[in-house]
């Protein structure tokens, strides 16, 4: 089945689904699945809604498109929505290949092109930020908008000695995701996103989804994530917003560092949340996003 036939079939199923259900009962989980082939991999995504603006949701390490279930609930009647499972995650193929930021970005780009999205609004969480940055670089248009939700960002020092120390530290971190203590380290890593304020459903998602990431896919994703080639100093002139959790781990110069990369940046920090702020305080995050998208 080619892309066009597959897409038409999905649209028919979606129309039948919409007719048989009340919109108020719709959830992201109940939206029909669509697949696209990228480098012989089946990439899973879900598409819903209509409108001039298309919101493309890109999840982070160890996660899947269900990270965005509260964004679906809020935006489902307002915009054209696309939720993607990156290769190796969710319902996308988990083949014996190299999992890189390039592969993830290519998958997002293929979906954008297949759906003929001209002005994508990329909403990225965690590892989804470097993926979305690469997507924007390839699109070569300032029409794309970037919404950064507590995105991972590395600022490699220019000094060679400092750069080596920085890189060595990142490699040491990445090596925790492989070997005999892999499972123990991943569990500890994931629990670091949970505090006494974290809603139970968010804790359940983190512990049931992130901890199940395979050693190979998880390690390769992290190794690619810390590759300096993705963290060049190329300026991004697209309209962008960054929403970060104000935690003890947040660098005090985070805003200033981001502003050296993103020239048209709106920057916000949120209290009483952790890394999954779009799930922890969805109404607050959604209103911020909507106001930014509509400005």
CA distance 230 to 127: 12
Domain ranges within the chain, ordered by starting residue: 3-157+234-294
The pLDDT of residue 15:
45
Average pLDDT over residues 206-234: 96
CB 154 within 8 A of CB 226: yes
Query: pLDDT category, 229, cuts 50, 70, 90?
Result: very high
In CATH terms, the superfamily for domain 3-157+234-294 is Alpha/Beta hydrolase fold, catalytic domain (3.40.50.1820)
Predicted confidence (pLDDT) at residue 20 exceeds the cutoff of 70: no
CB 154 within 8 A of CB 170: yes
What H or E segment, with its residue span, contains residue 85? none
Residues 105-118: tens digit of each pLDDT: 999 999 999 999 99
Predicted confidence (pLDDT) at residue 2 exceeds the cutoff of 90: no
Query: pLDDT category, 125, cuts 50, 70, 90?
Result: very high
Predicted confidence (pLDDT) at residue 3 exceeds the cutoff of 90: no
Average pLDDT over residues 67-90: 98
CA distance 77 to 92: 26
Token digits for 122?
């990329």
Parallel, antiparallel, or unpaired: how do β-strands 80-84 and 262-270 relate? unpaired
CA angle 257, 195, 266 (to 5 degrees): 30
DSSP assignment of 60-119 equals -TT--GGGGHHHHHHHTTTSEEEEE--TTSTTS---SS---HHHHHHHHHHHHHHTT-SS
Q: What is the DSSP letter of 151?
A: -
Average pLDDT over residues 16-22: 45
Work out the percent of the chain whose per-residue pLDDT is above 90. 89
The pLDDT of residue 224:
98
The pLDDT of residue 25:
78
Average pLDDT over residues 2-24: 47
> By C-alpha distance, which of 170, 138, 139, 174 is closest to 157?
170
Predicted confidence (pLDDT) at residue 92 exceeds the cutoff of 50: yes
| pLDDT mean across residues, the chain | 93
Work out the percent of the chain whose per-residue pLDDT is above 70. 92
Residues 162-192: tens digit of each pLDDT: 999 999 999 999 999 999 999 999 999 999 9
Average pLDDT over residues 195-199: 96
The pLDDT of residue 233:
85
CA distance 81 to 75: 8
CA angle 30, 58, 48 (to 5 degrees): 35
Token digits for 184?
């123990």
The pLDDT of residue 24:
55
The pLDDT of residue 1:
46
Q: What is the DSSP letter of 248?
A: T
Query: pLDDT category, 295, cuts 50, 70, 90?
Result: confident
Average pLDDT over residues 1-9: 47
The pLDDT of residue 110:
98
């Amino acid at each position: 089945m080619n892309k066009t036939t597959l897409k038409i079939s999905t649209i028919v199923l979606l129309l039948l689904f919409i007719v048989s259900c009340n919109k108020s009962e719709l959830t992201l989980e109940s939206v029909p699945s669509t697949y696209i082939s990228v480098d012989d991999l089946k990439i899973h995504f879900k598409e819903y809604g209509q409108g001039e603006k298309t919101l493309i949701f890109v999840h982070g390490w160890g996660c899947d498109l269900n990270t965005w279930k509260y964004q679906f609930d809020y935006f489902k009647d307002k915009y054209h929505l696309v939720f993607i499972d990156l290769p190796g995650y969710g319902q996308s193929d988990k083949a014996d290949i190299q999992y890189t930021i390039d592969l993830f970005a290519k998958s997002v780009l293929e979906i954008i092109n297949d759906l003929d999205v001209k002005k994508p609004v990329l909403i990225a969480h965690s590892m989804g930020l470097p993926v979305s940055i690469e997507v924007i670089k390839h699109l070569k248009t300032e029409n794309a908008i970037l919404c950064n939700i507590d995105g991972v960002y590395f600022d490699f020092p220019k000094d060679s000695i400092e750069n080596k120390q920085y890189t060595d530290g990142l490699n040491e971190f990445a090596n925790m995701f492989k070997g005999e203590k892999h499972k123990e380290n991943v569990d500890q890593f994931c629990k670091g996103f949970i505090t006494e304020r974290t809603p139970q459903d968010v804790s359940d998602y983190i512990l049931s989804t992130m901890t199940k990431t395979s050693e190979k896919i998880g390690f390769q994703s992290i190794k690619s994530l810390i590759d300096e080639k993705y963290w060049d100093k190329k300026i991004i002139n697209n309209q962008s917003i960054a929403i970060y959790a104000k935690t003890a781990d947040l660098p005090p110069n985070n805003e200033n560092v981001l502003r050296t990369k993103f020239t048209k940046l709106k920057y916000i920090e949120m209290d009483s949340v952790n890394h999954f702020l779009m799930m922890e305080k969805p109404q607050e995050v959604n209103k911020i996003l909507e106001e930014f998208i509509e400005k």
